[in-house]
Amino acid sequence: MQIRLFLPLILVLSLGLLACQQADNAAAKPGIAVVDMARVMRDSEPGKAGVKFLEGLQSDMQEKLTGIQNRLEAKPDDAEAQKELQATYMEAQQRMQAEQQNVINLLYDTMQRVINAYRAEKGFSVVLNAEAVVSFDSGADVTGDIIAAVNKQKMDFKPVTASGAASNAAAPVPQNADKADSEKDAPADKKPESPKNGKK
């Protein structure tokens, strides 16, 4: 019942989209740089922090699952504990998927921003993922520069709230306020309709 993280693989696949988006124009434009995105994820401070954050969540969830499993070992016929174990395991899987996707999105956005700024500053036309390049000169590899730039970014990973995966900032308050306003506006819109219906 172990919940395993496949973060490095998923991150590489996710960030590989950058190379896919740029590969079509690579042959036609000069000034090409190459970045080893897997290495950026593995060696950058934000990448390490993201993995550590997810591992901490996984450890907490695993501890909860282990507690239920210990109860079942003592009482194998405990139907309530069996149901609780299954429900907790499913919840943990869904939670880890949401948390992992959130971390991937945050890291991807940060790296995309850093690479775009670096490309513009250095005058490169294209920045490619090393995973998508068959061969390149070592002078085109700017991975070290990208790691240094990413390390300067401050990232604070927080758990995805139960109210929704998108509410990772201070968004829930305005959203609730908008709902409240819409509920207030609804009766006002209906008031003109009721006299018309009454007249007709």
Residues 140-169 pLDDT 10s: 889 999 999 999 998 888 888 654 444 443
Is residue 23 domain-resident? Answer: yes
How far apart CA 167 and CA 186 sit, in angstroms, is 25
Q: What is the domain extent for residue 27? A: 7-169
Residue-by-residue pLDDT tens, the chain, 200 positions: 444 444 444 454 444 444 444 444 444 345 889 999 888 988 999 999 999 999 999 998 999 999 989 988 888 888 888 899 899 999 988 899 899 989 988 998 999 999 999 999 998 989 988 888 888 878 888 999 999 999 999 888 888 865 444 444 333 333 344 444 444 444 444 444 444 444 44
Is residue 2 domain-resident? Answer: no
pTM for the whole structure: 0.61
Report CA dihedral (164, 168, 173, 177) to the nearest 10 degrees. Answer: -50
Q: Looking at the structure, do residues 147 and 199 belong to the same domain, yes or no?
A: no
Is residue 1 domain-resident? Answer: no
Q: Looking at the structure, do residues 175 and 164 belong to the same domain, yes or no?
A: no
Number of domains in the chain: 2
Is residue 56 domain-resident? Answer: yes
The alpha helices in the chain, defined as continuous H runs, are 7-23, 37-43, 45-74, 79-122, 143-151, 172-190, 193-199
Q: Which CATH number fits the domain that encloses residue 76? A: 3.30.910.20
Q: Are 109 and 78 in contact (CB under 8 A)?
A: no
Is residue 195 domain-resident? Answer: yes
Is residue 69 domain-resident? Answer: yes
